[in-house]
Amino acid sequence: MKELRLMKGNEAIAEAAIRAGADAYFGYPITPQSEILEYLAEQNTEEAGGMIVLQAESEVAAINMVYGAASAGRRVMTSSSSPGISLMTEGISYLAGAELPCLIVNVARGGPGLGTIQPSQADYFQSTKGGGHGDYRLLTLAPYSVQEMADFVALGFDLAFKYRNPVLILSDGVIGQMMEKVELPPALPRRQTGEPWATTGKTPDRERNIITSLNLDALKHERHNLRLQEKYRQMEAEDTRYTTNLCHDAEYLMVAYGASARIGGKAVEMAREKGVKAGLFRPVTLFPFPSKALYDAAKNVKGILSVEMSAGQMIEDVRLATECSVPVRHFGRYGGVVHAPGEILEALLQLAADSGQPTACRKGTPLPADQAQ
């Protein structure tokens, strides 16, 4: 029987974590995602089912607690928002280097610095291009509904263990805070099988296990890096995700993820009503970016509007994917401002009105006069 509930995105993540059989959560409060820790604390998860929930003294500590618990081969997660994720990046680099599975949730807010507590998508670069030091990648899932917030938890754990790599859910304050109907995922049993690589105590029947990201020999370390790259290519081949809506006959394509896809989808429908054949291409994995699918989807279009709550970050991947074969424009509000469907529609209509005119590849949309002040 379906279990339906009206929930905030943040609560859905927390409830889904319990149901996914997560063994441990470590986190530090930060708006707009504190409900995750609060919800888990309220559920008394340790007594109810053995899930450890611990408030750490900082995000630095939280991610290193994740590193320790993940070393035991358990399903471990943390969540934070932009400034907290910045603090975690050293630890995330270690997790990727030591090949530990874990789930990290970023309910992003506007930066840079302390920025604002309002929603933002300005952590795209940080999420998909490394963030911390070294040649590593995070498999990055971008939910655009409360339902996906819930569904991506178990999916995220599965992918983390499939690749022995951290998985990031990159959400934003809109999706984290909004309430929607959600069909709760089924409750999974707790992980029983021990991972052969886990540091759980060296029993006589096996060699000792070592979790480390250190290699003093550069050639050995190059081989390690090559193997990591191989893994990232495998992610690209097997776990790239995206959705399309009204793309089959589209002349103008909007590319947007997360909350922008939510709002942009509305603008696409409005454009259709005005006779402009628009379609929405939504990357669901930001890394691996659905480059090939986007290249194919863009073959017959006259222009692309890349919509983000940022100054233009994903647009770089959109341009790389389409190899500048189609004019690509950016439309974004940022610093915590969420765009309205009307203004996205305007940008779409403008793109259509300008069709055929070459658009410089690197040019973004100039700010309207009132915004430029």
User: Which residues make up the interface to other proteins (CB under 8 A)?
Assistant: 23-24, 26, 52, 54, 56-58, 60-62, 64-72, 74, 76, 90-91, 94, 98, 199-204, 208-214
**Nearest approach, Cβ of residue 279 and other proteins (Å):** 45
Which region holds residue 131: left if phi is over 0, alpha if psi is between -120 and 50, else beta?
Answer: left
**Nearest approach, Cβ of residue 61 and other proteins (Å):** 4
The helix or strand, by DSSP H or E, that contains position 11, with its residue range, turns out to be helix 9-19
Buried b (16+ CB within 10 A) or exposed e, 133-172: eeebbbbbbbbbbbbbbbbbbbbbbbbbbbbbbbbbbbbb
* DSSP-assigned states of every residue in 218-268: HHHHHHHHHHHHHHHHHHHHH---EEEES-TT-SEEEE--HHHHHHHHHHH
Of 52 and 117, CB closest to other proteins: 52
Of 52 and 178, CB closest to other proteins: 52
Determine phi and psi for 365, rounding to 5 degrees: -75, 130
Of 131 and 258, CB closest to other proteins: 131
Return d(Cα 11, Cα 177) in angstroms, integer.
9
Of 67 and 136, CB closest to other proteins: 67
Of 28 and 334, CB closest to other proteins: 28
**Nearest approach, Cβ of residue 270 and other proteins (Å):** 48
Of 208 and 299, CB closest to other proteins: 208
**Nearest approach, Cβ of residue 21 and other proteins (Å):** 13
Return d(Cα 136, Cα 43) in angstroms, integer.
35
Burial class (CB in 10 A: 0-12, 13-18, 19+), 61: middle
**Nearest approach, Cβ of residue 296 and other proteins (Å):** 42
The helix or strand, by DSSP H or E, that contains position 371, with its residue range, turns out to be helix 369-372
**Nearest approach, Cβ of residue 55 and other proteins (Å):** 10
Of 24 and 159, CB closest to other proteins: 24
Residue 158 makes CB contacts below 8 A (sequence gap 6+) with none
**Nearest approach, Cβ of residue 223 and other proteins (Å):** 18
Return d(Cα 181, Cα 173) in angstroms, integer.
17
Return d(Cα 354, Cα 170) in angstroms, integer.
33
